Amino acid sequence: MTDTKYTIRGETGDWEVVVGLEVHAQVTSNAKLFSGAATAFGAEPNTQVSLVDAAMPGMLPVPNRECIRQAVRTGMAIDAQINTWSRFDRKNYFYADLPQGYQISQLYHPIVGEGAIDISLDDKNPDAAGKRIGVERIHVEQDAGKLMHDQHPTRSYVDLNRSGVALMEIVSKPDMASPAEAGAYLRKLRSILRYVGSCDGNMEEGSMRADVNVSVRKAGDELGTRTETKNVNSVRFVMAVVEQEAKRQIDVLESGGRIIQETRLYDPDRNETRSMRSKEDAHDYRYFPDPDLLPLELDDAFLEECRASLPELPDTKRRRYEALGITPYAAAVMTAEVEAARWFDALLDTGVAPVAAANWTTSELFGALNRTGRDIENSPVSPDQAAELLGLIADGTLSGTLAKQVFEIMLETGQGAAEIVEERGLKQTSDTGEIERVIAEVMAANEDKVADYRGGKDKLFGFFVGQTMKAMGGKANPGVVNDVLKKMLG
């Protein structure tokens, strides 16, 4: 990690920021945590609600094995302690969108204990500017429903579609000390969840959201009183919350006030947090073991199956790419999103040269996708088509300039590179006789510059290269052009 610390200058000196995140990640599953109801996003209100979710009398919860499996796999992905014995607790509070009058969660005995996530603040050299952020625990719990305030002028309606949806609450330690670190942690966590397949990471749809805990202190002081800003749904907003809430707390403290432990909301339009309610202590919820659910006991066979199902994770994949000679920056770009890494792995499987493939993918392909507003999953160029194009570059059939032309046609038509080269006559020529003939014409048309070059103006060499390539429509092999020009210009 670099030595530069993030501080905020106040009237009384510099302040440090202390940040912890509680991330709620919706578990990828075909059903809810304790019922068989569907969990599809965007369904009509109250169309994905079982009798269990609606808390009808006599209904008993049954744990969804897949939800438990995904939580365990997530814990393993961050090298966390997996607790083979865990228990569900009831968190009692009353709200209109909580039909049971309690939430089933895990307070005292979570399924996953301590782990860690490595973050980087430098894309150019991820290992040199790294920091390890501790994860305190991961527990599974059911989500509440949602109140809808815009359906009636005087009443609020209740949508129970989310009631009972399985969540992993991933609780970090207060190890982050800047907006940048909080953003890097959330991006890395999201990447890991998407690699593992335990959460789709779609923050816009609410399947991943963060509660941001922020406090401030003078260097060397004890931890200050923290506030919790709820349900922040983007990396950018999390970083803004850290910055704005820290500044607000400093203003309060320096004006003689004190920070109260409270829950706050973030208003992105005004870029500010505002008070929601004072923070209740845990005992207000009257936690006790859920009498309807037996403790979870995980056997060795289940744990082995979970571990065996894990994919190659981002850091391991990045180091593998670097071992192939790919730059740390390109490797980091390629592994940041699981879809890009899968696409690139498929390209490598064709046998192309890794470094050339990485350079082309990060510059040409990603540039074209950004320009056209597409993602890698909707790329009009497949890994096999990219391999064909790279092969034509490697064997001298295409120059860099011609390859760009062919690639643009591939993007527009979906045709293969070899087919385009054949149809449109875009093959690079290395015919020495043809190149010599064109160079002779260029020299005859520019006798004054030939004389200047031979008189010592070496920089004119580039002019002759350009004129020759132009005369040959970009199809001449640049290496052959350079060699022949040197010989003919003397």
Cα(245)–Cα(15) distance, integer angstroms: 13
Question: What are phi and psi for residue 27, nearest 5 degrees?
Answer: -75, 130
Token pair in block for residue 158: 């209740």
- Are the C-beta atoms of residues 264 and 228 closer than 8 Å to each other? yes
β pairing state of 227-232 and 262-267: parallel
State whether residue 12 is helix, strand or coil.
coil
β pairing state of 13-26 and 7-10: antiparallel
Cβ within 8 Å of residue 161, ≥6 positions away: 43, 45, 46, 47, 48, 49, 145, 146
Helix-strand-coil split of the chain, %, nearest 5: 40, 20, 40
Q: Per-residue confidence of the chain (490 residues) as pLDDT tens digits?
A: 444 689 999 999 999 999 999 999 999 998 999 999 999 999 999 999 999 999 999 999 999 999 999 999 999 999 999 999 999 999 999 989 999 999 999 999 999 999 999 999 887 777 767 899 999 999 999 999 999 999 999 999 999 999 999 999 999 999 999 999 999 999 999 999 999 999 999 998 989 999 999 999 998 899 999 999 999 999 999 999 999 999 999 999 999 999 999 999 999 999 999 998 775 554 578 999 999 999 999 999 999 999 999 999 999 999 999 999 999 999 999 999 999 999 999 999 999 999 999 999 999 999 999 999 999 999 999 999 999 999 999 988 888 888 999 999 999 999 999 999 888 877 766 668 878 888 999 899 998 988 888 888 888 898 998 898 888 777 777 778 888 888 898 7
